[in-house]
Chain A
Amino acid sequence: MRDNVKGGALTEVTFFILLALYEKMHGYGIMQFVEEKTGGRLILGAGSLYGALNNLQEKGWISPVDDGKGRKKEYIITELGREVAKAELLRMKELVITAEQIIGGDLE
């Protein structure tokens, strides 16, 4: 994963996973969230999701929720993860401003 904390852009999948995990969710929920929010444009394969979840855990952006029972693993965003997501939102806003200045805000 190319994402890094030092201002680098997150991949779309990473950002969506972080957004999904503002509420605790298991893998299936994340897949549904991504599909729903993109109107089916982005469909996340299980292997790619698994890899992404492991990477984000290693970075400490998300963590598994221990429910004490059942194996169904749920995840939740961490404080660090929230900071990264906020930084990404800010970056995107700036990008939108630049793009609108050049392309124009009127998208006909």
Chain B
Amino acid sequence: MKKYYRFFGGFLKAQEKWLNQMAEKGYRLDRTGKLSYEFTKCKPGEYQYCIDFVAGQSDQKVKDYKAFLEELGYQVFYKNINLNLSVGKVRWRPYGKGTGQIAVNPGNYNKELLIVEKKNDGRCFELHTTNEDRVLYYKALRNARLTVAVLFLIFSIISFIQAQSFSKGVIGFGLLAILLLIPAFLYQTQMLYFSKKSSIEEE
């Protein structure tokens, strides 16, 4: 048993890469915590990992999806995308779909990501393979980032109206908004790429 402390936040690809590197070294994920990953030994390269973003879907839907993945023989772990240690929390996710707009803890809060483990069969492991589905996936990621960026932008504007000058609050919120717009923009680019592709070809 080996325990590592890591925090990847919204950098899903980095997290996926790290898990795959661990697997190549012979470590298989056993448990996830808020900041921790526990591994057990396995044959080097025995498993592959893929991360899915499921925030914005209802708790029930995520459970159903998780069960579906497990039926395929995959092992699935929940993972938080943010750091939040409080319990008894209710969050509004304006980017969510239907009841997925409400996130509660305990419940679907802190379960924004699924880490999916598959026995390595020598092929590349992807969950989203059709262009249409990829569009939806990147759209969900974009909307999550964009929502928060817009909220920070609104805070910044409100602070400006109140202070009538570029106070710390105005600049702080403004910078956060810009920072969050970067991943939103990158996801948007991906989304458009696959959207364009899907009108010509399917795979």
13 contacts between A and B (CB under 8 A): A11-B132, A13-B202, A26-B71, A27-B72, A28-B72, A45-B127, A45-B128, A45-B133, A46-B116, A47-B127, A48-B133, A52-B133, A73-B71
* Contact residues in B for A46 (Cβ distance below 8 Å): 68-69, 72, 74, 116, 127
A71 CB-CB contact with B under 8 Å: yes
Closest chain B residue, CB of each to CB of A42: B203
* Contact residues in B for A71 (Cβ distance below 8 Å): 67, 71
Contact A48 B127 (CB under 8 A): yes
B52 CB-CB contact with A under 8 Å: yes
B65 CB-CB contact with A under 8 Å: yes
- Which 9 residue pairs spanning A and B have beta carbons closest together? A47-B127, A45-B129, A48-B133, A48-B130, A45-B127, A45-B126, A47-B128, A48-B129, A12-B202
A51, B137: Cα distance in complex, Å: 11
Chain A min CB distance to B96 (Å): 17
Q: Out of A12, A42, A50, which one reaches B65, CB within 8 Å?
A: A50
Interface residues of B, Cβ cutoff 8 Å to A: 52, 65, 67-69, 71-74, 116, 123, 126-130, 132-133, 136-137, 202-203
19 more CB-based (< 8 A) A-B contacts, given A46-B116, A50-B69: A11-B202, A12-B203, A28-B71, A28-B73, A31-B72, A42-B203, A43-B129, A45-B127, A45-B128, A45-B129, A45-B130, A46-B68, A46-B127, A47-B52, A48-B128, A48-B133, A50-B65, A51-B133, A71-B71
Q: Give residues of chain A (1-52) contacting chain B, Cβ–Cβ below 8 Å.
A: 1-2, 11-13, 26-28, 31, 42-48, 50-52
A28, B136: Cα distance in complex, Å: 23
A31, B128: Cα distance in complex, Å: 13
Contact mask for chain A residues 51-65; partner B; CB cutoff 8 A; 1 contact, 0 none: 110000000000000
Number of interface residues of A (CB under 8 A): 22
* Contact residues in B for A31 (Cβ distance below 8 Å): 72
Chain A min CB distance to B195 (Å): 12
Q: Tell whether A44 pairs with B71 under 8 Å between CB atoms, given A12-B202, A13-B202.
A: no
* Contact residues in A for B68 (Cβ distance below 8 Å): 27, 46, 50, 73
* Contact residues in A for B132 (Cβ distance below 8 Å): 1-2, 11
* Contact residues in B for A42 (Cβ distance below 8 Å): 203
Chain A min CB distance to B31 (Å): 22
Chain B min CB distance to A49 (Å): 8
Chain A min CB distance to B52 (Å): 6
Chain A min CB distance to B57 (Å): 11
- Residue among A46, A71, A73 with the highest chain B CB neighbour number at 10 A: A46
